[in-house]
Amino acid sequence: MNRLLPLGLVALAILALAMIFLLIGPALQIAPIEAPKQLEPYSKAELRGRAHYVGLGCVYCHSQQPRDPSQAPDQARGWGRPSTAADYVYDRPHQLGTMRTGPDLFNIGARQPSRAWQLTHLYAPRAVHPDSIMPAFPFLFETKDSAGPDDVVVDVPKAFRPEGKVVVARQSALDLVAYLLSLDHSYPPVHRNLRDNGYRHGGERG
C-alpha cells in the first residue's frame, strides 16, 4: 500500500512531462507564427473550392509540402522552394499529404496559372497529359448544345468531348480551379517565429 503513492506520483510526473513536450511545447511554438505579407487569406470562392478539394480526396494523391533539397529533388522537379510553417496559417484542415501519385501542388498556381488549362485538365486529364492516371471529374461540368452568355466554355479537344456539344464548367469546377490557382507560394520563405499580429485562421478576403 505504501508503494502506491510513489507509483502514482511517478505516473503523474510522466504524464505531465508528456503533456509539456507533446502538447504545450509545440502549441507555444506554433501560436506566434504570422502569415507572410505576400500570403493572402482565401476568398469565398477559394474556400468553396478548397472544400471540393478536400471532399474529392485530392490529398490522397497530391501533397502540398516540397521538401528540402537534402531530402528530395523537389525543387529540381519544379515544385518550388521547401515549405515552412508560415505558409499554412490559413489552412484548416491542412492538406500536406503523404502520397505523390501525382505532383506536389504547393505551387500549382504559379506553375499552371491558366484557368483554361486547369478546367480542361479536370474534365479530361489525358487531353493535356496523355500518360496521366488522374481520374476525370466530368460531374464538375455539364454538356450543352450551345453555351449561354454567362457560361464558361471549357476548351476540350474534339476527341474528348461529346459530339456536337459544348462543355461548360459548373460553379464547383470554377471554385476548385480558383483554389488551385491560389496555391502560389513563390514568395520568400518565413523561417522565424513572429509575434501574433491579429491574423485570422481560415479567413476570407472578400
At 123, which CATH number?
A: 1.10.760.10
Residue 146 has pLDDT above 80, yes or no: yes
Identify the three-state secondary structure at position 84.
Answer: coil
Give the mean model confidence (pLDDT) for residues 182-205. 61
Report whether pLDDT(21) > 70: yes
Is 11 part of a structural domain of the chain?
A: no
Is residue 178 included in any domain, yes or no? yes
Q: What is the pLDDT of residue 29?
A: 67
Query: Between vectors from CA 114 to CA 112 and to CA 117, what angle results, nearest 5°?
Result: 85
| Mean pLDDT of the 29-45 span | 86
Q: Is the bond into 125 cis (omega within 30 degrees of 0)? A: no
3 state DSSP class of 69: coil
Residue 1's pLDDT band, with cuts at 50, 70 and 90, is: low
pLDDT of residue 201: 36
How confident is the model over 51-67, as a mean pLDDT? 97
% of the chain exceeding 70 in pLDDT: 90
Q: Evaluate if residue 141 carries a pLDDT over 70.
A: yes
Dihedral sign (CA 161, 129, 155, 54): positive
Quick one: average pLDDT of 158-167?
A: 93
- Residue 200 pLDDT: 35
CB-CB contact of 121 with 71 (8 Å): no
Residue 199, pLDDT > 60, answer: no
Place of cell 476548385: 176
Residue 161 falls inside a structural domain? yes
| Overall residue count recorded for the chain in this entry | 206
pLDDT at position 195: 40
Asked if the structure places residue 17 within a domain, the reply is no
Segment 24-38 shows an average pLDDT of 78
Instruction: Identify whether the C-beta of residue 198 lies closer than 8 Å to the C-beta of residue 89.
Output: no
Q: Is residue 67 part of a domain?
A: yes
Whether residue 7 is contained in a domain is answered as no
Half-sphere exposure (Cβ direction) of 104: Cα atoms closer than 13 Å: 23
What is the pLDDT confidence band of residue 193, given thresholds at 50, 70 and 90?
very low
Q: Tell me how far apart the alpha carbons of residues 139 and 49 are, in angstroms, rounded to a whole number.
A: 15
Please give the single-letter amino acid code of residue 175: D
Task: Please check whether residue 203 lies inside any domain of the structure.
Answer: no
* Number of separate domains in the chain: 1
Average pLDDT of the chain, as a whole number: 89
* Residue 32, domain member (yes or no): no
Q: Determine the structural domain holding residue 66 and report its residue range.
A: 42-182
CA proximity to 63, closest of 178, 173, 175, 183: 183
Q: Note whether 124 and 92 are within 8 A (CB).
A: no
Single pTM value for the model: 0.80
